[in-house]
Structure 1
Amino acid sequence: MQSALEISGDEELTERQKDVLNAVLRLLVEEGDRLTMTAVARRASCSKETLYKWFGDRDGLLTAMVQWQASKVRVAQVDRSRLDKSSLSASLERYASDWLHVISSDTSIALNRVAIAHAGEEKRNLGAIVLENGRLAMGRRLKPVLLAGRDAGLLEFDDAEQAFRTFFGLVARDVQIRLLLGDRLKPTDAEIGQDAADATRQFLALYGARNGAAKSGL
C-alpha cells in the first residue's frame, strides 16, 4: 500500500511526523526487519491508529521513511536562461555531496541491508520500495538538470538515463558496497566534499559539450 504521505522534502512533514520517522530509522538500525507498527508506536510514543492514519500500513510507513531519506539529496534549482558551466557544476556537486552523506549514514546502510536481504520475496517488498523511492526517484529528480545542461549547450548525451547512471557510478564508486559489506569506512565532510567535486569534474570531462565551454565563458 502506498504511503498516505508523499514526501519530497522536510517542509511537507510536521515535527511530530519527523519524530516518528526518526523512531523508525533508529529501530531499523537496532532491529532490522523485525520492525513492527507496535514497536514504532511504542518508541515514538504515539498510537498505532495515528500511524495507520498517516502512513496506511507498514509498507506505507517504510515508503515514507525511504522518501524522507531520499529527500535529503537535494537538487539545486537551475535557471535555464542563465545556466552556465559554473552553476551546473555547483548543482551537480551539491547533489553528489548530499548523496554521499546519505548512503554513508548508519540508517541508510541498515535500510539497504534489510532491503537486499528480502529482495524478490512476495511478502516483503522493501526492496521494491527502496528502489522506486530511492535510486529511481533520485534519477527522476536529477535528469531535468542534466537535460537543462544539454539544452544550454553545456552537455552532450543522447540518453539521460545513461548519463545519470554514469554520474551515479562516479559518485558512489565502491563506497556503498563496501559499507554494506561491513567496511568501517567513515568519510569526513571534507572527504565527501572532495569526492563530490572529483565526481562532478570527471562527469563534465566525459559529457561536457565542446561549445559549452565557449558559451559559459570558461
Structure 2
Amino acid sequence: MNSHPDHAGETLTDRQQAVLDAVLALMVEQGGDVTMTAVARRASCSKESLYKWFGDRDGLLSATVRWQASKVRAGNYDRTRLDALALRDSLVRFAANWLGVISSPTSIALNRFAIAQAGARGSNLGAIMLANGRFAIGARLKPVLEAGREAGLIAFDDTETAFRTFLGLVGRDVQIRLLLGDTLVLAAAEIERDAARATDQFFTLYGTEKPGPGRDKINA
C-alpha cells in the first residue's frame, strides 16, 4: 500500500508548536508585528531558545507560516487503488481544511500583516508567506491531482492551472472579503457544503466521470 498522509509540521516538538501558536495569538491581538521578546514572554521561554530553535526573526516567521499552512491537508489515499470516490473525498477534505484555515482569525491576522509589510523595504514576510503558504500548499495538493490524472479520473494538461482552478472554486471571494473586514462567519457545516460543492464543480470541469454511488471505478 502506498499511502500519502500529510506529515507537515511533525518535526516540531510540542514546545515549539506552543511557541508558534503564541506568535499567531500575538498577531491576532496586536494586529501587526511581533518581537522576539514578546514571543518569549508569551510562550514562557527564553529568547536564547527561540534563536536556537528558529534562528532569527525571519526563521521564526517562516516556521509560523509553515505551521499554519500545515493545517491544510488532503485526505489519505492509496495511489495504487485510487477511485473517483476516494479522490473526491481527498479533495473535499483539502477544501474544507483550507477554508477553515483561511477564515480563522489567526490566518486573517497573518495575511493582513504580510500584505502591510509587502511594500516595506527590507521585509521578507511576503516571500515567506508565498514560499511556505500558497506554494507549499500547492506542492501538497498537486500530487493528489496528478494521481487522479494517472488513474484516469480527471484530465488536464497543466497541473498548475488545474490547482489554481480548484483553489478558485473553493475560495471564491471569501478570503478577500475577510481581509477587508467583512463579518463573514463560516460555520463548520457551511464549510463542508462549500467544500463539497467546489469539488463537484471541479469534477464537472475536469472529471472523466462524475463520482457517485455505484460508480466507484472509472471505465469499470
| TM-score in same-fold range (> 0.5) | yes
- Say what the alpha-carbon RMSD is for the aligned residues: 1.9
Q: Give distance in 2, aligned partners of 1:76 and 1:142.
A: 10
> Which residues of 2 match residues 69-80 of structure 1 at below 5 A?
69-80=68-79
Q: Which residue pairs with 1:177 in the alignment?
A: 176
Q: Give distance in 1, aligned partners of 2:115 and 2:75.
A: 30
* 1:20 is aligned to 2:19: yes
Q: Secondary structure at the match of 1:12?
A: coil
Provide Cα deviations, 1:140-188, integer angstroms capped at 9, x if missing partner. 1111110110011011100000000000000000000000000011110
The normalised TM-score by structure 1 is 0.92
Q: Give distance in 2, aligned partners of 1:118 and 1:149.
A: 38
* 1:216 is aligned to 2:218: yes
1:19 positional shift: 1.4
Structure 2: 5+ residue runs without aligned partners? Answer: 1-5
Percent identity between the two aligned chains: 65
Higher helix share: 1
Q: Give distance in 2, aligned partners of 1:96 and 1:84.
A: 18
Q: Which residue pairs with 1:4 in the alignment?
A: none
Q: Secondary structure at the match of 1:182?
A: coil
1:78 positional shift: 2.1
Q: Secondary structure at the match of 1:33?
A: coil
Q: Secondary structure at the match of 1:197?
A: helix
1:61 positional shift: 0.5
- 1:8/1:67 contact within 8 Å kept: no
Q: Secondary structure at the match of 2:32?
A: helix
* 1:138 is aligned to 2:137: yes
Per the alignment, do residues 88 and 211 of structure 1 end up closer, same or farther by CA in structure 2, a change over 3 Å counting?
Answer: closer
Structure 1 stretch 148-157 or stretch 208-217: which is displaced more? 208-217
Q: Give distance in 1, aligned partners of 2:167 and 2:190.
A: 17
Aligned residues: 212
1:192 positional shift: 0.2
| Amino acid aligned to 1:36 | T
Q: Which residue pairs with 2:162 in the alignment?
A: 163
The normalised TM-score by structure 2 is 0.91
Q: Secondary structure at the match of 1:38?
A: helix
